[in-house]
């Protein structure tokens, strides 16, 4: 999606809205949850600094009459109890696509391994020393907003994790209402973000149950190999239990086949089995092919769809994002209309 905006276009857009540079910075901050100021706007307009993709996307959307205020949030859990299925890669890239489209998007790293945090270039050790990780809001020490950091390239916001979050897994097991701690933590930000994407641990533990209890819908990345397919029934069984016991509104948006090698017969067979077993009841997205650029993007702290928009599989993550936009409009229609 081309979202470039020149400095002259930005100035003309701002002046058409009748806003000064400081006022325009406030307007942007309200919608993108950022901290821009007059100097930043001035550098963009004069060509001294590149206009962030998230700002450009928001302006493009507003120019065609579809810019929306932040909130209410559709909460999405990206989940699979098996590691190595591109779960975090999927969460990071889906969230980045939404942010680049101009939606106020928060990615919550709910995995003590902190893979999403590191994937986006943040030092979880340093953030932990600053007490700016998810452990502290989950422990009741501070509001979630106090730990949120910003991905400069996309405007995506991140609630980072660190290994200390593993303590929360044990602590909430002894608390009354422990399955709903994350829901309470997210209550405030649900009012100002359009999307909250939760990356979960590769297990069905207390943190994953917390994500199930607060989410509207689930996205399931599944590697096109037989062991991952065998675990799919177990995962869907647990989502069904969560729907009955914790959150009657939880749905499954669909399955994303991942790390697909089209030249491998086994991958093609597993993809066909996924479609045969689950295609009648839920959306099976096109497969995301195996591509080295995903690992390369991780190593440099970038989302692949932001660093290389034409990366193989980018169209799939765009399709998932579009499905989430439609899901939000359907599920939260009344709340969106009230905010608008």
Domain ranges of the chain: 7-63, 74-339
For residue 329, which phi and psi values (nearest 5 degrees)?
-65, -30
Farthest CA pair distance, the chain? 60
* CATH 1.10.260 assigned to 7-63: yes
Q: Are 157 and 151 in contact (CB under 8 A)?
A: yes
- pTM for the whole structure: 0.84
Residue 35: which H helix or E strand, with range? none
Give per-residue pLDDT as tens, 216-268.
999 999 999 998 888 899 999 999 999 999 999 999 999 999 999 999 999 99
CATH topology agreement for domains 7-63 and 74-339 = no
The C-alpha atoms of residue 133 and residue 109 are separated, in whole angstroms, by 9
Q: Are 101 and 317 in contact (CB under 8 A)?
A: no
Share of the chain above pLDDT 90, in %: 75
Burial of 277 per CB tally in 10 Å (0-12, 13-18, 19+): middle
Structure tokens belonging to residue 84? 């190595």
**pLDDT average, residue stretch 99-120:** 94
- Nearest in space to 211 (alpha carbons), one of 72, 110, 107, 87: 110
**pLDDT average, residue stretch 20-45:** 88
74-339: CATH class: alpha beta
The C-alpha atoms of residue 5 and residue 8 are separated, in whole angstroms, by 8
Give per-residue pLDDT as tens, 153-207.
788 999 999 999 999 999 998 888 999 999 999 998 999 999 999 999 999 999 9
């Amino acid at each position: 999606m081309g979202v470039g905006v020149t400095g002259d276009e930005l100035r003309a857009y701002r002046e058409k809205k009748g806003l000064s540079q400081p006022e325009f910075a406030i307007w942007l901050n309200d919608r993108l949850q950022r901290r821009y100021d007059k100097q930043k706007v001035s550098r963009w307009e004069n060509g001294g600094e590149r206009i962030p993709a998230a700002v450009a996307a928001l302006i493009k959307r507003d120019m065609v009459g579809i810019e929306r205020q932040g909130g209410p949030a559709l909460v999405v859990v990206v989940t699979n109890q098996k590691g190595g299925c591109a779960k975090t890669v999927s969460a990071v890239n889906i969230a980045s696509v939404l942010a680049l489209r101009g939606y106020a998007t928060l990615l919550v790293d709910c995995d003590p391994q902190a893979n999403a945090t590191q994937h986006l270039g943040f030092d979880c050790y340093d953030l932990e020393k600053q007490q700016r990780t998810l452990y502290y809001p989950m422990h009741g020490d501070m509001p979630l907003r106090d730990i949120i950091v910003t991905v400069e390239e996309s405007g995506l916001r991140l609630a980072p994790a660190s290994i200390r979050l593993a303590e929360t897994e044990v602590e909430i097991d002894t608390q009354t209402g422990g399955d709903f701690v994350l829901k309470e933590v997210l209550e405030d930000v649900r009012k100002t973000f359009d999307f909250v994407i939760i990356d979960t641990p590769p297990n069905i533990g207390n943190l994953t149950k917390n994500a199930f209890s607060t989410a509207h819908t689930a996205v399931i990345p599944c590697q096109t190999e037989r062991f991952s397919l065998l675990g799919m029934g177990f995962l869907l069984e647990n989502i069904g239990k969560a729907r009955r016991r914790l959150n009657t509104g939880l749905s499954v948006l669909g399955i994303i086949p991942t790390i697909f090698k089209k030249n491998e017969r086994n991958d093609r067979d597993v993809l066909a089995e996924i479609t045969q077993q689950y295609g009648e009841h839920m959306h099976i997205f096109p497969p995301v092919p195996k591509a080295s650029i995903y690992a390369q993007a991780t190593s440099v702290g970038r989302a692949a769809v932001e660093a290389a928009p034409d990366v193989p599989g980018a169209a799939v993550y765009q399709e998932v994002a579009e499905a989430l936009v439609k899901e939000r409009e359907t599920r939260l229609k009344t709340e969106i209309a009230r905010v608008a």
